[in-house]
Amino acid sequence: MTVTYTAEVATCKGLGCFLKLLLRWRASIYKLVWLDLALFLFIYYSLSSIYRLILDDEQKKIFEAIVTYCKEYSDLIPLSFVLGFYVSIVMTRWWNQYMVIPWPDSIAVFVSATIHGNDERGRLMRRTIVRYVCVCLTLVLAMVSPRVKKRFPTLEHFVETGLLLENELVIFQSLNAKFPKPSKHWLPIVWASSIVTRARKEGRIRDDFAVKTLIDELNKFRGLCGSLMHYDTISVPLVYTQVVTLAVYTYFLTSVMGRQWVQNSSTSTIDLYFPVFTTLQFFFYMGWLKVAETLINPFGEDDDDFEVNWIIDRNLQVSYLIVDEMHHEHPELIRDQYWDEIFPTELPYTAAAQAFREEHPQPSTAGIQLSAAQQELQPSTARIDDMAADFPQKFRSDVADDAESGIHFTATGKMSRSATESGKIARSASRVSTRDRTLSGGSTPSIIGDSLTRVNSVTSVLKRLFSKDDRPDGGTSSGTKTPGRLATSSSAASLQNRIVAGGGSMRIGVIKEEADEQMTLVSMKSQDKKPHVQSIFSPGPPPPSAPVAVPGMEHSRNGEIFSCSAPITGGVLEGSNGESSANDRRYAPDSRLNATDDAIGTFEHYI
């Protein structure tokens, strides 16, 4: 059984809580290492006695040479490296084996919630399903744990303990006779799934989703049982275990000779009758190896192995309790103590727990306080405002350099457009706020306006060539100083002068550039009013087509053929608005007959 000491290390006081654990014997390092240490000390003192009492001077020299040789080359064994990785693998494997042990609690809860009926049949189904689940786990543990195998050596012992019935034992024995090698731990899970489907057919399970949930839980339980068997059959590679074992034992075989006290030693003149540090080193390394030996199979009989027999008893008791004893039994639904208060501010403390009253945890930045000056927002980036009075010289020089290019972009306000009867674009002005625009104020999005206007673009050149506007300001000249626009001359002098003369604010007057471009393109078109679609087609649905009769030798002309596409009232076809049109009078009955005769005559002419 696993030795627990959690209660003893719950609170660290004084010199520490681990020192008291050194006095334990069960599952301790002393219990694991004492026999190996006794053998090591016996060999050590035997060699020391031979050196001191039996050997002569010549033999002592040979003994001293062997001691020096073993002492120099024993450190070449990478003991810490090999042991560290091996124990790490074993510890991870040990905990993973515990995590794959299946527990039937969830299956018992699903069975109790989905298989209804308090009669004997429903109770029998629920108890049998969870019993089969416990049998599956017990069969697996009997195959991987010596403790369980000694408790249930044969299937007859399962019958004697009540886990299996006689008829179920017969099925197991017949399958084992036909297929002796494969494990049959999955057979009870198959039986349990059959009971689930039978309960669904009998109406004890009310929906198919509950059936799927139960089958999935049973398969999950079976998979975890299979994982336990895989851990049992697939161990840590044997070669790794052999390397670690050889490294530890060969190291101490050389140490038992290399750590001997010799008379002519140049490093130590103290006669060591007991190897203190060698013994401590033996404790550490050999204890490290014993940890791996103990945990490599946690289902054995060591002190720290899992309590598998307790798990078997506990699973059966809890499963029966869930599906039978407390099936569909729950307390009466009444209001809780804090019904009117919604929730308690704090649950009460006892006198013993008063010292452990805790406050609500605060975040790590809760104590940071900022002054009013530190809370002021600063611009994230420098704004390029070509009309600001305190525009930095560096930015102004950069803008002047950019003015050398042929195409420039400038920030302008939004432009509203309205179409006139002549098709030209009316110019409208938009104003920007007259507040100061400095680098220290305002927001970053004010760097760029709502739209961008191209200067000296291809459209501007075409406008100056083909524009019909004879006004002197119809074209866009590079020397025109439009407010809010960059200069187009090669020199930056005009740009520099206009930036300084801006007065710290940006006022946009009449924006001509984009409006003039649109005006020029429209003025080149014809001024004639184009026909509208409503002037071509009459409003409402299209008139129905006149039916045309196909002539034949045995068919006569039928002049009373009318179209049913639209109603006819008073000999005039009504439009969609209920008004008759002059064009639709031809679809009156008399007109329709005449149109039909004309069409037939034309058709006969071509024939």
Instruction: Kindly state whether residues 60 and 154 are assigned to the same domain.
Output: no
Residue 150 inside a domain? The answer is yes
Instruction: Kindly state whether residues 91 and 111 are assigned to the same domain.
Output: no
Query: Would you state the pLDDT for residue 2?
Result: 79
Picking from 194, 218, 233, the residue at the C-terminal end of a domain is: 233
Query: Would you state the pLDDT for residue 173?
Result: 93
Residue 394 inside a domain? The answer is no
Residue 268 confidence (pLDDT) above 80: no
What is the average pLDDT score of the chain?
Answer: 75
Residue 106 inside a domain? The answer is yes
Residue 168 inside a domain? The answer is yes
When comparing pLDDT for 570 and 530, which is higher?
530
**Which has the closest alpha carbon to 44: 232, 273, 320, 370?**
273
Instruction: Kindly state whether residues 210 and 282 are assigned to the same domain.
Output: no
pLDDT band at 436 (very low <50, low <70, confident <90, very high): very low
When comparing pLDDT for 440 and 96, which is higher?
96
When comparing pLDDT for 300 and 553, which is higher?
300
- Are 8 and 20 in contact, with CB atoms under 8 Å apart? yes
Picking from 205, 233, 261, the residue at the C-terminal end of a domain is: 233
**Which has the closest alpha carbon to 568: 548, 601, 602, 543?**
543
- Give the C-alpha separation, 102 to 227, whole Å: 10
Picking from 278, 296, 314, the residue at the C-terminal end of a domain is: 296
Instruction: Kindly state whether residues 111 and 204 are assigned to the same domain.
Output: yes
Residue 377 inside a domain? The answer is no
pLDDT tens sequence across 567-583: 444 444 444 444 444 44
pLDDT tens sequence across 537-549: 556 666 666 665 6
Residue 49 inside a domain? The answer is yes
Type of residue at 110: F
Instruction: Kindly state whether residues 115 and 226 are assigned to the same domain.
Output: yes
Q: Which residue has 């007109």 as its token pair?
A: 591
Instruction: Kindly state whether residues 15 and 135 are assigned to the same domain.
Output: no
Classify residue 425 by its DSSP letter: B
Kindly list the distances between the CA atom of residue 545 and the CA atoms of 23, 584, 587, 591, in Å, as whole numbers in the listed order: 111, 11, 9, 13
Q: Which residue has 């009459």 as its token pair?
A: 538
Q: For residue 187, how many other CB atoms are within 10 A of its CB?
A: 17
- Are 152 and 158 in contact, with CB atoms under 8 Å apart? yes
pLDDT tens sequence across 341-370: 898 988 899 999 988 888 888 899 988 999
Query: Would you state the pLDDT for residue 356?
Result: 86
Number of domains in the chain: 2
Instruction: Kindly state whether residues 130 and 157 are assigned to the same domain.
Output: yes
Instruction: Kindly state whether residues 214 and 124 are assigned to the same domain.
Output: yes
Half-sphere exposure at residue 65, Cβ-oriented, CA atoms within 13 angstroms: 6
Residue 68: give the domain boundaries: 6-95+237-296
Instruction: Kindly state whether residues 261 and 159 are assigned to the same domain.
Output: no
